[in-house]
Structure 1
């Protein structure tokens, strides 16, 4: 699978307006596109951050959806978004345990690595980190996204509730440290969001 991510920041008092637009008009637009597999919307109300992900069968399907979404994105995010960053990734690893819940938590880890090490990063995450992440209480799903050309990626770890996410901060830290060392990865950012919506067909 492939994903497109949209990361926007803005006035926290207007973030719910953007969330409503994404969950209605935005989802309708996505569901009309061939190859669409699902989407997720995640927010940080305190700081005014919104992170959205759309999932696609193929790179071509994602690319073909770009034009219509690019034209509508500003109106969907208005009046909230002051900055918007759009990125594309390959889904290197997808591991689901249970369905994420509204009000749950997303821990997002941003990575940088030598583009030649993309397979090493994926193999390490799949073989070493996923089995250890499974032991975290409340884990719903974890995925690894990679951009092979730019040597960038992100790990998204979803929990069924924010209490579980908070309780696993210390437990996930050594998993992240060991995986980064083994795969020669630099962790560039660590963020947490509330789950507004998260659904993807992985079969």
Structure 2
């Protein structure tokens, strides 16, 4: 599958209105598009950050949907979004243990790598990160999204609640260090979010 991520920052006091807009009108717009497989909405209410991710069967479906969403996105996120960035990824690895739920937690790790090492990054995540992550209490899903051409990627780990997310930090720190070294990747960002909505049809 293929993913479009929209990352917006703004006044925390205006975040709830943006979430309501994305979860109602925004979701209706996505549901109408061919090839749509679901979406996730994640928030950092304290700092004022909103991350939305839509999932698509094909790269073409994602590209075609963006022609519609590009015109509507700004309106959906106003007046919250002071900044907004859009990124596209290939969903290289998807591993679901249980369905995430509202109020859970998401950890996002951003990385950069030599585009020639893209397959090494994917193989390392699949062979090392996935099996070692399965033992983490409360883990619901883990995924690797990559942009092979630009040498960029993000890993996302969803937990059933924020307590499990917090409890996993020490174990994941060691795993992140080992996996990044093995994959020749550089970690450039680490963030955590509340799961507002998550409904992706992997199968």
Does the pair score TM above 0.5? yes
Query: Cα deviation per residue 1:108-155 (whole Å; 9 max; x = unaligned)?
Result: 000100001111100100011100011110000000000001000000
**Number of positions where the alignment pairs a residue of Structure 1 with one of Structure 2:** 203
1:24 corresponds to: 24
1:194 corresponds to: 194
Structure 1 gaps, min length 5: none
Please say if 1:74 is aligned against 2:74.
Answer: yes
Query: Cα deviation per residue 1:54-81 (whole Å; 9 max; x = unaligned)?
Result: 0000000000001110000011000100
What's the TM-score, normalizing by structure 2? 0.99
What's the TM-score, normalizing by structure 1? 0.99
Structure 2 gaps, min length 5: none
SS in 1 for 2:99: coil
Q: Distance in 2 between matches of 1:58 and 1:175?
A: 31
1:38 corresponds to: 38
Q: Distance in 1 between matches of 2:134 and 2:185?
A: 21
Runs of 4+ residues deviating >4 angstroms: none
Alignment RMSD: 0.4
Please say if 1:55 is aligned against 2:55.
Answer: yes
SS in 2 for 1:46: coil
SS in 2 for 1:122: helix
Q: Distance in 1 between matches of 2:92 and 2:62?
A: 16
Alignment of 1:160-171 (within 5 A): 160-171=160-171
